[in-house]
Structure 1
Amino acid sequence: MWVPDISNIGGPRYLALASAIAEAIDSGELVAGTQLPPQRDLSGKLGVTVGTVGRAYMLAKKRELVSGEVGRGTFVRPHDEKDTFANYLPERKPGTVDLACFRIPVNELADTLARVITGVADHAVLLPLIGYPPAAGYITHRTAGAAWIKRSGLKIPPEQVIVCSGGQHGLLAAIMTLANLPGPILSGRITYSGLKSIASLREIELEGVEMDSEGMIPEALAAAAEKTGGRVAYLQPTVHNPVGCVMSDKRRKKIAEVARIHDLILIEDDVAAAGLSDRGLPLAAYAPERTIYISSLSKCVSPALRVGFIGAPASFIEALSNTIHSLSLATSPLVMEAASLMIMDGTAGRIADRNNQELARRHELVRQELSGLDVNSNPAAFFAWLRLPDHWSSSEFADAVQKAGVSVVRSSNFMVGSDEVGNAVRISLNPQTNLGVLIDGLRIVRKIAMERPGPQLAII
């Protein structure tokens, strides 16, 4: 009988159980057609009333996750199998163990957000609610953004911080602001898929720059700038997504030097590492006059908040603010107020710390379950980068594990240019709070990686 662990999920017990049901269905633990336990049986196992289980089942039914059949029970509804995802979205299929998409592993968020939303209600009278906020955000929210960025070691005044709706929004604003500069955007040969999606949407050319174990190679960046005339470089110096590598301080200083020599504007994406406090200084600390720095709460606190911050030289603030205004007029002050309360009272930092502790535990599982395979595993990353044995291509392997019930992301989603320089897949390590599901998924990945692909049928 399926019995979830709801002891670490805050809030009313029926909501905790409904959340566990949704997570289990979304992750593939409960596949379509699975019968949920009888309400009386599950109530006994969980130590709650039958009415509590009934309310949870009713809520899941209202969300169209399950269907109830009189005299037969409650069953997981079938999923729509149509693939409507765009090219650069993670290749996750409903009903599979989700090792493709990001998912926050901290369980206390529901209670925390409920408390914070109550605080926002108390503060609503202080917010100007009858007009649009400034495009850069209210100074109180920009001050909270400066406090959050300071967690990385980068000290920047609130006047040089702009609030935005998450890191992707900040990246889009930065790219649109710099769109008049000549040449392609210079990025690592392996890069964040969100950059590729923006470039595809706006028909912006990307130029792949050679990388090593620390990320982008300074000499290769200089050569690419000379060859293409490109003036904008995109980098992830701390916890590169998807590879997980980290630049040394020496490498960051060298990149800053190259940027000055070739008059490059740097976009530093620090979203994947935004929750880290024990780390090297951001690249922006070495080239503050030419770096647009992007941070976010999405990967370390909650993706539901959609809150990000742009730190930039004073000379870019007006242009970036105008771009934000053109794209979205402004960021919701209610959401920003919630984020600001969490930052200033330390809640956001505590959640980020717990998240990092949980990620480190999951990376230890990766080292155990995928031992003998070539894996980049950074304990602060929400993912691991698995380089495949020579007998597998990335696409063949992704298809094979998907047939076995696991979703991963193939390396082509992250490649710049036509050459597939990384025969690998990205594995998300936080598909849900149930570690057993993660372990099962990793064991399937290992088993298939050690096998050889079946023969391809000849085309006559």
Structure 2
Amino acid sequence: MTRTTSLQGIDWAGVLDEKGPRYLQVVRFMERAVAEGRLRPGDRLPPQRLLARALGIDLTTVTRAYAEARERHLLHARGALGTFVAAPRFDTTQVVDLGMNLPPPPDGIDLADLLKRGIDQVLTHADAHLLMSYHAGGGSAADRAAGALWLKPMLGKLDEGRIVTCPGAQTALAGLILALTVPDEAILTDALLYPGMITAAAKLGRRLIAVAGDADGMLPDELANAAARENARVLYLNPTLCNPTARTVPETRRIQLADVARMHGLQVIEDDPYWALADDPPLPLARHIPERTYYVATLSKALTPGLRTAYVVSPDAAARGAFLTSLRAVSLMPAPMTSALTTQWIHDGTATAVLEGVRREARERQRMAAFALSRVDIASQGIHLWLPLPARWTARSLTTAARLDGLAVTPAEAFSLDAPPAEAIRVSLGGVKERVRLKQGLDRLATLLERGETGEASLVV
């Protein structure tokens, strides 16, 4: 706890009340203070020795915090004059990427260090020749055991014989489409869905049919009507912190949809990448109708895309075999080295630590977004948010204006099966490494939303 609350007009109360290394707690306090305007460009920070004494921590910790803050472009030192809050850094070569949906850097976690130690552990316990060789598709027994451990919070105790380890969810979805449908067959979905599913279905010659919904998700009666009308056999759902709407389908609606799927003989592809990021999420549909559900859980959205690992839980061993046959047409096997690292991290607890760091960082970034976009009703969980636009903007014009202002966002048409699509954009919060740059991007987006279209013509040269 702090010994004092104010230094040079800055209230430092509660700076050491969080988890993680103390130097990072000090840095996070500075980031929040900058985001909320309590620290402004040009403000002078307390001398390091004075701050260490006031907080009751050693000088080395404060020195390390100031150094990290400078690395994050929060502060700049001016010799004998002291250390000051840095002016916003404008990057002339890159936009602020609010379009790519990936988890943020985990709070309080040194990923580079974890990566080095994890690979060292893998190489210590595994034969390097085997890591560089071909492997049977679907993952080793150790990989499937790691998958069962990772999936236990979602699905409870699992038969590892039902699990397939895949090189990412996109590959898994393509394999499932091939396994469960034939060309020109209908797949029932929400009207707004993951663009990767749209691309996969189009390239594989399947038809995606939008089923009407409300604020709680797909409507059961509409699903029943569409299943009968289209003679459909497959339903695709992304029920938890849905991409793009960030909506979570409540438990009651999930049970109703499960009942319809059972009644009409639908196989369900439950794409659930964000379940681990949600606070107290409902049980997956796979818990209600395991005999009809293929559950897909990727680590790309919960931990890091670099692991390229997703798990698919099939209804039974026979269904797993049929899926594996189709999967081999898309990908022979996951990369053994990354699979081994993923397995190592899950078994030794590293994956859980990274997940908690991502969850903490995601919550902080959602709080930043709520502060910056105060006039917009947004979700408070996950790594993205859905912004319906005011009448003065269309999604396409806002996306274009944002690009000209150095921002990348994703318009509704990228996710939509309807024409015309909703006037909304998805804003992703994890693609920007530094919180300060994220704040700059969110502030610029807020200014755009308030301003509206200018009607100015683009420069032509």
TM-score tier by shorter-chain length is 0.7 to 0.9
Unaligned runs of 5+ in 1: 1-9, 11-43, 53-75, 80-94
Structure 1 364/213 Cα, relative in aligned 2: closer, same or farther at 3 Å? same
* Partners of 1:298 and 1:304 within 8 A in 2: yes
Deviation at 1:403, TM superposition (A): 1.0
Quote the Cα distance in structure 1 between the aligned partners of 2:348 and 2:369: 34
Kept in 2, the 8 Å contact 1:276–1:353? The answer is no
Secondary structure of 1:289 counterpart: helix
CA distance 1:162–1:173, shift in 2 (3 Å): same
Larger radius of gyration: 2
The 8 Å contact of residues 155 and 284 in structure 2, kept in 1 or not, is answered as yes
Cα distance in 2 for residues equivalent to 1:46 and 1:382: 28
One of 346, 356, 364 as aligned partner of 1:361: 364
Specify the SS of the correspondent of 1:310: strand
Q: Is the 8 A contact 1:137 1:162 kept in 2?
A: yes
Match of 2:31 in 1: none
**TM-score (normalizing by structure 2):** 0.76
In the alignment, structure 1 residue 419 sits paired with structure 2 residue 430 = no
Displacement after TM superposition at 1:130 (Å): 7.5
Paired position in structure 2 for 1:213? 215
Measure, in 1, the Cα distance between the counterparts of 2:262 and 2:446.
45
Q: Which residue of 1 aligns with 2:299?
A: 297
**In structure 2, what residue type is equivalent to 1:232?**
V
User: Equivalents in 2 of 1:438, 1:110: separation in Å?
Assistant: 22
2:84 alignment partner in structure 1: none
Tell me, yes or no, if the aligned pair for 1:274 and 1:297 is still in contact at 8 Å. no
Give the Å deviation of 1:140.
1.2
Where does residue 142 of structure 1 map in the other structure?
A: 144
Contact 2:292 2:315 in 1 (8 A): yes
CA deviations over 1:375-416 (Å, ceiling 9, x no partner): 33141x110101000121100011111111111000000001
Report the more deviating stretch, 159-168 or 438-447: 438-447
Matched, 1:318 2:321: yes
Which residue in the other structure is 2:445 paired with? Answer: 445
Aligned to 2:99: 100
The aligned counterpart of 1:170 is 172
TM, length-normalised to structure 1: 0.76
Give the AA of the match of 1:406.
L
Q: Which aligned pairs between 1:59-458 and structure 2 lie closer than 5 A?
A: 95-103=94-102, 104-106=104-106, 107-125=109-127, 128-129=130-131, 132-180=134-182, 183-276=185-278, 278-314=280-316, 315-373=318-376, 375-379=377-381, 381-420=382-421, 422-455=422-455
Q: What is the aligned-residue RMSD (CA, Å)?
A: 2.7
Number of aligned residues: 374
1:194 partner letter: G
Q: Give distance in 2, aligned partners of 1:307 and 1:96.
A: 28
**Identity percentage of aligned residues:** 30
SS state of the match for residue 126, structure 2?
A: helix
How many angstroms does 1:456 deviate by?
Answer: 7.5
Deviation at 1:334, TM superposition (A): 2.2
1:24 alignment partner in structure 2: none
Contact 1:154–1:281 under 8 Å retained in 2: no
**TM-aligned CA distance change 1:317 to 1:139, over 3 Å:** same
Q: Secondary structure at the match of 1:376?
A: coil
Amino acid at match of 1:108: D
- Matching residue of 2:87: none
Secondary structure of 1:156's aligned partner: coil
Residue segments in structure 2 that go unaligned for 5+ positions in a row: 1-20, 22-63, 72-89
Aligned to 2:386, the other structure's residue is in SS state strand
CA gap 1:178/1:153 in 2 versus in 1, 3 angstroms: closer
Is the CA contact (8 Å cut-off) linking 1:215 and 1:240 kept in structure 2?
Answer: no
**Does the Cα contact within 8 Å between 1:151 and 1:277 map onto a contact in 2?**
no
SS in 2 for 1:326: coil
